Amino acid sequence: MNAMQPVPAPFIGFEGAVEDGWIDVNGHMNVAWYDRVFDIAESNLFEAFGICEAYTLRTNCGTFRVEKRMRYERELMPGDRLRVESRIAATDDRVLRGTHEIVNMTRGGRAAIAECVSLHVDLAVRRSARITDPLVLEPLTRMSAEHSRLPPVISGR
């Protein structure tokens, strides 16, 4: 995201449909696939403000997820269309807090929510480090500001 691009609010980090291979013996999407969908969405969110493989190779910095809280609210069934709406809930120059919601586009309503905390890390010393790259810091700050203007995410049912 460059300085001229509008900030997506919320960020759409994943769109797709529940595949047959994601279904467990109970006939609904297995919890491992919820986690995978959330992971894809978060990676796409981070890439949107510049933390990606190229950034890691260029700076020797990356992110480590240190906390993840998930709530499964509604079943996802074979073929259900889903979208993940992601937002930066809070950030400073080291910590990134994100919220991701799987929305069932077929049946309506939120199917699951994940609240994640990641640290920006200097990989040479394996410790948290400030984000100093303006190519990341500027779009991250803009995205966080835009997302803070959205209605709050309710994490319970």
Q: What pTM did the predictor assign?
A: 0.91
- CB-based contact 104:110 (threshold 8 Å): yes
Q: What is the pLDDT of residue 152?
A: 87
One-letter amino acid for residue 100 of the chain? H
Q: Which two tokens stand for residue 71?
A: 């709530």
Q: Which residue, 80, 64, 89, is CA-closest to 155?
A: 89
Asked whether residue 68 carries a pLDDT value surpassing 70, the answer given is yes
- CB-based contact 48:8 (threshold 8 Å): yes
CATH assignment of 11-148, given 2.60.40.2470, 3.10.129.10, 3.40.50.2300, 3.30.56.10?
A: 3.10.129.10
- CB-based contact 136:51 (threshold 8 Å): yes
- Biggest CA–CA distance in the chain, Å, is 48
Buried b (16+ CB within 10 A) or exposed e, 86-111: bbbbebeeeebbbbbbbbbeeeeebb
The residue-averaged pLDDT of 126-142 equals 96
Asked whether residue 86 carries a pLDDT value surpassing 60, the answer given is yes
Q: What is the pLDDT of residue 9?
A: 82
Report the share of the chain in percent with pLDDT over 90: 89
Q: What is the pLDDT of residue 155?
A: 80
- CB-based contact 100:54 (threshold 8 Å): no
User: What confidence tens digit (pLDDT) does each residue in 139-148 have?
Assistant: 999 999 999 9
Q: pLDDT-derived band of residue 80, with 50, 70 and 90 as boundaries?
A: very high
- Tell me the average pLDDT of the chain: 94
